[in-house]
Amino acid sequence: MLDFGKARERMVEIQLASRGVRDTRVLDAMRLVPREAFVLPDFEASAYDDGPLPIGEGQTISQPYVVALMIEAAELQPKDRVLEVGAGSGYAAAVMSRIVDRVYAVERHTVLGKAARERFDKLGYDNIQLHIDDGTKGWPEAAPFDAILVAASGPQPPSSLKQQLAIGGRLVMPVGDEAHMQHLVKIRRTSETDFEEKDLGSVMFVPLIGEEGWSGGSRSSP
């Protein structure tokens, strides 16, 4: 039987630390969260592989390295309030919940959202709130956020999300064409009206569907 604890440690050392992930809080959080609990039963043995896995509804759980890269780029701090758009199976929200004070997650697929809530309850991750809605509109009632992570690619960063950032807050998301040229960008809010943007490299994600995203369709994410 697969030793998930050892597999988790190998994932952290080989897929993350050796590829440049340096934030010890991110590495420690990914050591703590059982990735096998966030994949479909038939894929538990592959939970720590260096790649995406299907989670149903045409969606995937992202490659561990990409999860770590995005969380590290968000510069999370222990007292932060974080929004995740596109929660999927709940894995990234779970990892962030081991670092920050509170995570707010939005998922548009009812089946995935309900399953993620059940996982959080089972694992005792009680600092995560999830609701099922159009994530491109964010979560205005819980704003402002110190960080926002978007696990789907949009034509541009939704203005609603940018406006829900606290001053100094960071938005990390893939931006670009639905199927081809996408770049992971990091946006920092420097004032009420000003934002700085940095390109973190090429990626491939499912499309961000919603009022401030694409109108429909699906692709495979990393």
- Residue 62 annotated among the catalytic residues of the structure: yes
149-200: per-residue pLDDT in tens? 999 999 999 999 999 999 999 999 999 976 667 999 999 999 999 999 999 9
51-88: per-residue pLDDT in tens? 999 999 989 999 999 999 999 999 999 999 999 999 99
Residue 195 placed within a domain: yes
On the 0-12 / 13-18 / 19+ scale of CB atoms within 10 A, 14 is: middle
Residue 213 placed within a domain: no
Which tokens belong to 108?
């548009």
Residue 43 placed within a domain: yes
Q: Which of 62, 89, 97, 153 is catalytic?
A: 62
Let me know: does 220 contact 205? Beta carbons within 8 Å.
no
Distances, alpha carbon 207 to alpha carbons 61, 72, 83, 142, in Å: 14, 22, 18, 24
Residue 157 placed within a domain: yes
Where would I find the beta strands (DSSP E) of 58-155? 59-61, 81-85, 102-107, 128-132, 145-150
Query: In angstroms, rounded to a whole number, what is the distance separating the alpha carbons of residues 87 and 166?
Result: 21
Structural domains counted in the chain = 1
Whole-prediction pTM: 0.93
